[in-house]
Every structure is written in C-alpha cells, then in structure tokens.
C-alpha cells in the first residue's frame, strides 16, 4: 500500500488520540485546581508555598518525588497526611523522612485521616506532630514477602534499620526499641492495629 495513503488515513486517528490525551490531562489538572492544589509530585499535592497534602501510598520513586518537591518549593513547612496506606520501599521512605526532618517540616492529621504502616514512620519525622479527633494511626509488622518481622529474634540485625530510624527522628535508643517492638507485635503483616489514645501518649506519637 502507498505510504502516502497510510499517512492520510492514520492522521485523524492520531489527532483523535492526541486530543483525548490532552483532554484527560486537562481534566486531571482541572480536578486538582478544584481541590485547591497548585502542583503534584506523586502522592504529594502542593496546596501552597508552605503546605503539602499527602494522599496515597508511597512507591519506589517517593524520594525522588519529594526531592523535586522541595527543590521547587523550598519553603514547605507542613505535611497534611490524609489517606496514606503505607510505602512500597521503606528505605526510600526513610530518605524522604530525613528530608522532612532536615527541613523542619511539621506533620498533621485532619479528622478524616487514616495513615498506616510506613506512612506512620513518615508522620514521625515531623518536627511538630499533631492530629485531630477522628484520625486513625495504623501499625503492623513488616514483611519482606516471605518472612515477617516477628520471625526474627529480638536484637537481630534485620530490626536495626527501623530502630535506627526512630532514633534519627528523636527517640532515645530505649524508646526507639520499645516503639519498634510494640509495632511489630501489634498485628501481623496482613492485619492492622489502630493506636488507642493511651498508646499514642505512651509512645510519644504526637509532638506538640
């Protein structure tokens, strides 16, 4: 078949696809604008120059996404965490937490917030950590896909990265170990335990 005929016949379809993609991108941008967001980096939605709303789980590129966010908006001082089911890579999440800590960013949970698993670790990186009545904080044991955290004995090297992380965000060594072992024994990897008011106080989850 003549190449020129192919080009003529395929052009309307290409235009239709391009127009569809353009409309989809515009709709997504319009939806973000309706919610008041001015920019987005993965699960991080920029509300203004100082405030970011966090929604969704944090994937393997979360550290790069947050680094780009801070580079473009260096005056961010508050993360409002809403529905955050966790992270897919704890080591990458810890890099984000280090940036949150370094930039003295606060974390807050509004009444409808539900944060779980690795998202709780990110919350703990906040310089000031606050929550409103109705918010839920869920924890459980981590798993590498085949082995649960509780299958390793106390003091095993597999636990150390998490304990070191809690120390890095301000816990003493003793309190970091206490919090960590409480978390992994609170629920299995396939379950979740929502902290009680007493547990939130006992383990210094909030920092007013």
- pLDDT tens by residue, 76-119: 999 999 999 999 899 999 999 999 999 999 999 999 999 999 99
pLDDT digits (tens, 9 = 90+) for 132-145: 999 999 999 999 88
Q: What strands lie across the sheet with 193-194, from one edge to the other?
A: 83-84, 114-116, 136-139, 193-194
Q: CA nearest 167: which of 85, 100, 98, 72?
A: 98
Q: Span 162-189, mean pLDDT?
A: 98
pLDDT for the residue numbered 33: 45
Are the CB atoms for 83 and 104 separated by under 8 Å?
A: no
What mean pLDDT is predicted for residues 163-192? 98
Tell me the CATH architecture of domain 36-202. Answer: Alpha-Beta Complex (3.90)
């Amino acid at each position: 078949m003549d190449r020129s005929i192919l080009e003529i016949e395929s052009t309307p379809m290409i235009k239709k696809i391009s127009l569809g993609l353009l409309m989809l991108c515009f709709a997504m941008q319009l939806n973000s604008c309706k919610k008041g967001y001015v920019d987005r980096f993965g699960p991080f939605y920029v509300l203004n120059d100082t405030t970011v709303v966090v929604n969704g789980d944090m994937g393997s590129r979360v550290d790069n996404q947050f680094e780009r966010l801070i580079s473009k908006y260096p005056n961010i001082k508050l993360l409002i965490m809403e529905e955050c089911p966790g992270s897919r890579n704890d080591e990458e999440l810890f890099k984000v937490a280090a940036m949150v800590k370094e930039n003295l960013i606060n974390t807050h949970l509004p009444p409808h917030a539900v944060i779980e698993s690795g998202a709780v670790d990110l919350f703990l990186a906040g310089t000031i950590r606050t929550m409103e009545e109705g918010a839920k904080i869920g924890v459980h044991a981590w798993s590498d896909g085949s082995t649960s955290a509780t299958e390793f004995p106390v003091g095993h090297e597999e636990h150390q990265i998490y304990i070191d992380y809690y120390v890095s965000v301000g816990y003493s060594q003793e309190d970091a170990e206490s919090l960590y072992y409480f978390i992994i024994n609170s629920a299995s990897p396939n379950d979740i335990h929502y902290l009680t008011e007493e547990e939130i106080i006992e383990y210094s989850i909030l920092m007013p």
